[in-house]
Structure formats: C-alpha cells, structure tokens
Amino acid sequence: MTDNTHRESAVVAKRVDSGSADTAEITDLARSAGYDVAGELTQTRTEDPAFHIGEGKAEQLAEVVARTDASVVVFDNQLGPYQTYNLGNKLPEGVRILDRFRLILEIFGQRAQTRKAQLQVELAELRYELPRAEAKASLAKRDERPGFMGLGEYDESREQDIKNQIANIREELQSIEETEQHRREQRRESGFDLVALAGYTNAGKSTLLRRLAADMAVDDNEDLHPDLDPTAESEDRLFTTLGTTTRQADLDRRDVLVTDTVGFISDLPHWLVESFKSTLDSVYRADLVLLVIDVSEPVEEIREKLVTSHDTLYERNEAPILTVLNKIDAVEDGELREKREALSALAPNPVAVSAREGQNIDRLRERIDEALPDLQRERLVLPMTDDAMSLVSWIHDHANVEDVEYGERIVVDFEARLSVVERARAKASDLVEPSAEPT
C-alpha cells in the first residue's frame, strides 16, 4: 500500500475528441493509487501524434506541473511510447508520466496479495511492456541508434524474454484455475449453489455481500474485503482487493455461496481484461450472477455500463443474470421509476435494494432462490440402522429436509441439487437391512 504520510502530488490530464472531458474517475483512480491531485488539464481535439494533446497544451501542462510542484502526471488516455517521450521533454526533469492503464496496473500491484493476483498483475505489466519492446526492436533495426526516442537501450533478447515469461505465467495461472475449479465442483457436490457478484467498482458489491452473508467466512486464504469485518465501515474506494471473497449466504431452504470479485472499470483495453480473466472465472462458472448497478448514477452512464457488463459476462457465462439496482436510498422514488423504465430493455425485472440501509434485501434473497436451478424433490425409505441415521444427518447438512418419519423404517422427504440427490441415493443403496430375528 502507498504510505499516506508521504503522498506524491499529481496533475491529471485528459483529451477527448469532442464534448467536455470528465476527470472525476481518473481523479478517483489517482487518489486510490495514493496520489494527491493538485491540478488538472483537459483538451477537446483530435489526437496529436507527437504529444497526444497539442504541443501548446503540452507546454501549458508543464506550467501546471511547475506551479503545483507535482511529481507525477496522470493521463486518462492511452499514450504511445513516442508521445510519452515527447511529453517528458516538455515537463520539468524527474516528473513521471502515467497513462490510464499504467496507473491501473500500479493500483493492481498495490492491491495484489494472493499468488494468483500477483501473477495476474505481472501478466498485465508484461503485456503492457511487450509492444514497447517491439517498438524498440523496430527502431533499433531501422535507425541503429540505441535508446532512440528515449525508449532505452535495445536488448535484442528482451522481446523474447517477455514472451517466455507470459507463457510461464499463463501456465501457472492455468494450474491455479484447475485447483479452484476442483474446489467449486466439491462445493457443488456438497449441495451448494454458487452465486457471483459482478459490476463496476463502487457499485456496492462488497456491502451487498455483507448483507447477504451469514457469519461464516468460507476461505481464510482468500483476500478479504476490509468492509466484511462487522466493525468496519464500507469504503468508497476503487480496487479494494484483487482477490475473491466467498461467504455463505443466509437463505432459508438452500445452501448458497456468494463470491465477490474485482469490479469492472470502464475503457479497459482487451489485453488488460484478458490478463485478469481468471479472476472472472468465479463469475463465468457460477449458477447465478448478480449484476450490481449504482442506480444513483446518470441513466446514460448506467446504460453504458450495462451494455459493457453484458458484453463481458455473455462472452463466456451461461448462468442467468439478475440485475440489482443498488443505492436506492440515494434516489427519489420517482427517479427510480423513471430509470427502471428507461433501462427495462437491458435490465428486465431488476431488484432494487439499498445494501447500505438493508432495504429489500429479503426480496433479493427470494429472487435469488427463484433464479437458481430448481431443486429436485426426493423421498428415501431407509432401514432403521445406525448407518441410516448417519445418512439422515448427512441429508440434513446438504439438503432442505421437509419431513422425517421414524418407525420400522426411516422415511425422509427432502429437496436438493441433483448432485446431492444422486449421492443420497447412492449412499442409500449401500445400506444393509438388519438381519431378521431368529425364530
């Protein structure tokens, strides 16, 4: 984590082709990374090949940096290596330049605690560096000038080294994912339905997880969100964790595990999303996805996020998606009705809740129960033996038991996932009737 007692000052900059540049998100990102935002500069124009912004605007940027004594410039755009070099020559000596994706990688690096998260950050950094190494190679072959355009000394083997490291990381991540998939299957066999929370950062996913969860933490080795501590306040902060947090949900007739993952963020390039796709496997392999939306945001922004979320989720996900309109405590009833109507094509029949205030959480639990795969009813007739009593106890632990009758035999009526019903049948078939009393 960044040491908040020695925070660097930053200037944020953003260029847009048309309209006005909104710096709210990049400012939040910079602060999330540990920077104090001391100034900003925006421009509306087509991209300049040399400086990204116009050369005159680059000189204005240098003035803002000097005036605020900033040590970092954060662009809410993707910068090419040559643009970075040219901008660096305009700025005071020693000032660092981060584009949007370099900043996000810096935040990810601060948050990564598990081996999986660290590998994903390293993979993303390598994929960010690869085209720059390729650019050095191209320039070195063309110009035979090491360090041309400020790209650094050209190392002929660096490009291949990066590719080899990427291949090795992908192999290790695949091994981790296979282990996690095995764990998911074990949970399903134990009778658990798997629900995943998806959505953008600060939509309230972690707070909603806390509302839905029973007290039990499922995995001690997973990155735990600070706001899952009962004594902690939820943080308005981006990228609190890169890991997943899984908790057992408090539902009446089902055993449900709910997993929260890293939040989506707008305008991520494909290579960056691809680097973290193994984190999203908890979403892709769930039985139900809760897509959490901050309903207090402008409706056009919500619509754009819904479209992007659906593109991400439907790429590999086969589970039903239930849209959760969160933060209804922050909007008036009339505004909520208008937004529901405006978003009805993208979010049919959503559930509107306030995770912070606990409004409509019981209704959400009902909708989760309705949306999950149907439970299968079963009746087993068992011999009156100690082993049969142990099986009844096992069924109580893994299914929703509706009735048990004890007599010469045990009759148990229950409903459960198909996998649990099949295991119960198999266990019942192994039971041996007690021997008849000798005459």
Instruction: For residue 327, say whether it is annotated as part of any ligand binding site.
Output: yes
> Residue 105: which residues within 8 A CB-CB, separation 6 or more?
121, 124, 125, 128, 272
Chain segment 330-347, per-residue pLDDT in tens = 999 999 999 999 999 999
Does residue 128 surpass a pLDDT of 70? yes
Which of 204-208, 377-381, 432-436 is predicted with the least confidence, judged by mean pLDDT? 432-436
What's the mean pLDDT in 64-78? 95
Residue 193 marked in a binding site:
no
Whether domain 376-429 has CATH 3.40.50: the reply is no
Q: Is residue 163 predicted with pLDDT exceeding 80? A: yes
Assess whether pLDDT exceeds 80 at residue 140.
no
Residue 34, marked binder? no
Q: Is 204 annotated as a binding residue?
A: yes
pLDDT of 145 strictly over 50: no
Q: Is the dihedral of CA 397, 194, 233, 120 positive or negative?
A: positive
pLDDT (average), residues 218-228: 40
**Residue 84 annotated as binding?**
no
114 carries a ligand binding annotation: no
CB 291 within 8 A of CB 321: yes
Highest mean pLDDT pick, 61-65, 115-119, 367-371: 61-65
80 marked ligand binding residue: no
Treating both helix axes as pointing N-terminal to C-terminal, what angle do 418-429 and 386-398 enclose, rounded to 10 degrees?
180
CATH topology assigned to domain 4-109: Rossmann fold (3.40.50)
> What confidence tens digit (pLDDT) does each residue in 245-298 have?
888 887 877 888 898 876 777 666 666 666 666 666 667 778 899 999 999 999
For residue 374, what are the contacts with CB-CB under 8 A and spacing of at least 6? none
2: pLDDT strictly greater than 50: no
Q: Is 95 annotated as a binding residue?
A: no
The answer to whether 138 is annotated as binding is: no
Annotated ligand binding at 205? The verdict is: yes
CA gap 288, 372 in Å, rounded: 6
SS3 call for 333 = helix
- Quick: pLDDT tens for 36-49: 999 999 999 999 99
Residue 199 labelled as part of a binding site? yes
Is 243 marked as binding a ligand? Answer: no
- Answer yes or no: is 241 a known binding residue: yes
The number of C-alpha atoms within 13 Å of 34 and in the hemisphere containing its C-beta is 15
What three-state secondary structure class fits 213? strand
DSSP 176-192: HHHHHHHHHHHHHHTTE
Mean pLDDT of 8-24: 94
**How large is the C-alpha radius of gyration of the chain?**
27
**pLDDT number for residue 317:** 66
Cβ-contact 370, 376 below 8 angstroms? no
**Count of CA atoms in the C-beta half-sphere (13 A) of 16:** 8
Q: Which residue has the tokens 């009339």?
A: 334
Once rounded to an integer, what is the mean pLDDT over residues 79-93? 89
260 is in an annotated binding site: yes
| CB-CB contact of 229 with 193 (8 Å) | no
The answer to whether the annotation marks 244 as part of a ligand binding site is no
pLDDT of residue 106: 87
Tokens 């997943």 identify what position?
244
Tell me what the mean pLDDT of segment 201-228 comes to.
64
Res. 25: pLDDT tops 60: yes
Q: Is 349 annotated as a binding residue?
A: no
Out of 66-70, 290-294, 392-396, 398-402, least confident range: 398-402
Examine the pLDDT at 237 and tell me if it is beyond 70. Answer: no
**Is 266 annotated as belonging to a binding site?**
no
Q: At 190, list the tokens.
A: 């134990």
200 is in an annotated binding site: yes
Please state which CATH class domain 191-371 belongs to: alpha beta
Pairing of strands 245-249, 321-326: unpaired
Whether residue 206 is annotated as binding a ligand: the answer is: yes
- Helix (H/G/I), strand (E/B), else coil: 297: coil
Averaged confidence pLDDT in the chain? 82
Residue 116 counted as an annotated binding residue? no
Residue 229: what pLDDT? 35
Tell how strand 245-249 and strand 213-217 pair up: antiparallel
Euclidean distance between CA atoms 364 and 359, whole angstroms: 10
